[in-house]
Amino acid sequence: MEASGGGDVQVSGGAGERRMKMKVMVAIDESELSFHALKWALDNVLNTMATTATPDENIEGGGGGGMVFLVHIEPVFHHAVYPIGSAGAVYYPPSVVEGSVKKAQQEKSVSIVSRALHMCKDKQIKAQSVILNGDPREMICQAVEQMQVDLLIMGSRGLGKIKRTFLGSVSDYCAHHAKAPILIVKPQEEDHKKK
């Protein structure tokens, strides 16, 4: 049996041999909910991508599996006036503050992406990371379109209706604007109650 339309999934004869050639994007940030979504995706969706290739082929780019793109968005740096003690506010020249803030953002991004790549490697899933800068909602949708991914997977912060109305929801925005199917992994009920 073979599914057509982009060559996404092929199921061949012989003891359940499967071959999945899909480009999947997982949006990650510093929240545990995004890592919960990645773990869920690795356990429930992406595990079929490693079934036909050897572990070395999956990790190093050969083999017959699909590809996972881990996308992380760094926030845009905004220049501001910073209060200093009781004397009032002081405006630091952008180069002084901007350099240290950007360095801290880059270190945090590398740490987040490294953790996600390690999770993929442990499951023998071939993955590449992408770090972008800008509004997460727009950047994720642009990346989906430019990379022509077959599926976008992201976590949901589980905002209530009022918070979602005022703060906006990245997953809700992407669900309406991304040019690919989207799978939103909601937090487990017991995890959501703890927050």
Q: pLDDT for 82-117, tens place per residue? A: 556 566 665 555 676 678 878 888 999 999 999 999
Half-sphere exposure of 123 (CA within 13 A, CB side): 23
| pTM higher than 0.85 | no
b/e per residue, 46-62, with b = 16+ CB within 10 A?
bebbbebbeeebbbeee
**Can you tell me the distance from the alpha carbon of 190 to that of 170, in angstroms, rounded to the nearest whole number?**
23
What proportions of the chain, in percent to the nearest 5, are helix, strand and coil? Answer: 45, 20, 30
When pLDDT is cut at 50, 70 and 90, the band that residue 11 belongs to is very low
When pLDDT is cut at 50, 70 and 90, the band that residue 25 belongs to is very high
> What is the distance in angstroms between the CA of the first residue and the CA of the last residue of the chain?
45
